[in-house]
Amino acid sequence: MPAPRKRTTARPPTRTSTVRKPARAANRSFFMVMIILVAFSVLYHFGGDRFFPGRNTLTPAQGEILVHFIDVGQGDAVLIQSRDHAVLIDAGEPRYGQQVVTHLRDAGVTRLDYVVATHPHSDHIGGLTHVLNQLDVGRVIMPDAVNNTVAFENFLAAIENHSIPVTIASAGDEIAAGIIHMRVLAPTEGPHPNINNASLVLRLTHGSTSFLFTGDAEAASEQAMLASGKTLRSTVLQVGHHGSRTSTSSEFMDAVRPVAAVISSGAGNTHGHPHRDVLDRLTAAGVRILRTDERGTILMSTDGNDIRLW
């Protein structure tokens, strides 16, 4: 909120004389102004949201999809956006909910076709309550899993209060909104004693490019996906469970064969994510590693042929 203006006493205008500046001083002033303008332009162009957090950095071109890996500390939040449609996957802990809403609005999103809750842990669904309360949402997609927490109860209450339709999804289902096409690869039908293995795993395809969003799926879920025979190979992998050693097994990596991997984790988190052995595995495979704890929000675009990092 802007600070209130200080009240000032108006003074009558005074007669002044015009003084002509020497040419040398005028030239110095001109060059100083030019230097400031160039510096401002460079900061605006290369600084991105770090220097100008409120600006909309990119608008999707026709036929283009943007994927925003939103920095929500130790949690997950992903916006998938085309010219006319948008899907949100998770929104971090409750304290990040308003930040996610602001990011969506800055990106020009006023309506979400789908909100996907990968699984009912608060670092994934906590912030979704803010989203459901403040934006128009067409449908919520979630797995057949529950959790006895305040964050999950608030999430369910927001769904009920706004009469939002819900789909309980599992492997084999498809999600489509305009040019945004995703297939659900996991979980298989339950029960899943470990809620992480109930995580919805989604594969987004656009032309020859693809993204794999894995939630907190661990080795058991990865093995089920491998056994299913479904296509796992993806250009970009969102690394499972924030880079925990319980996920991203060697066999799973060999099947996905990503070019780049995004790790959503909080700086200095108490879990030690991402774990060194996962980082070493990705590095040995020649995968480019991008981390929200190092870079903040990560934005990629795909036209169906190439993926660009912004």
Per-residue pLDDT tens listing for the chain (310 residues): 444 444 433 343 333 333 344 455 445 555 554 555 445 444 434 443 333 333 345 889 999 999 999 999 999 999 999 999 999 999 999 999 999 999 999 999 999 999 999 999 999 999 999 999 999 999 999 999 999 999 999 999 999 999 999 999 999 999 999 999 999 999 988 788 899 999 999 999 999 999 999 999 999 999 999 999 999 999 999 999 999 999 999 999 999 999 999 999 999 889 989 999 999 999 999 999 999 999 999 999 999 999 999 9
Q: Kindly report the length of the chain.
A: 310
Model-level pTM? Answer: 0.82
Element of type H or E holding 183: strand 180-186
- In sequence order, the β-bridge partners of residue 166 are 140
Amino acid 48: pLDDT? 39
Contact by Cβ (8 Å): 166, 145: no
Contact by Cβ (8 Å): 310, 301: yes
Amino acid 56: pLDDT? 41
Amino acid 22: pLDDT? 47
Q: In what order do the strands lie in the sheet with 174-177?
A: 174-177, 180-186, 201-206, 209-213, 236-238, 260-263, 288-291
For residue 39 the two structure tokens come to: 């510096």
C-alpha span between 298 and 245 (Å, rounded)? 22
Please report, for residues 72, 130, 131, the alpha-carbon distance to residue 95 in angstroms, rounded to integers and kept in the order given.
9, 9, 12
Amino acid 124: pLDDT? 98
Amino acid 191: pLDDT? 83
Contact by Cβ (8 Å): 133, 159: no
Q: Which amino acid is at 225?
A: M
- What lies within 8 Å, CB to CB, of 227 at 6+ separation is none
- In sequence order, the β-bridge partners of residue 176 are 181
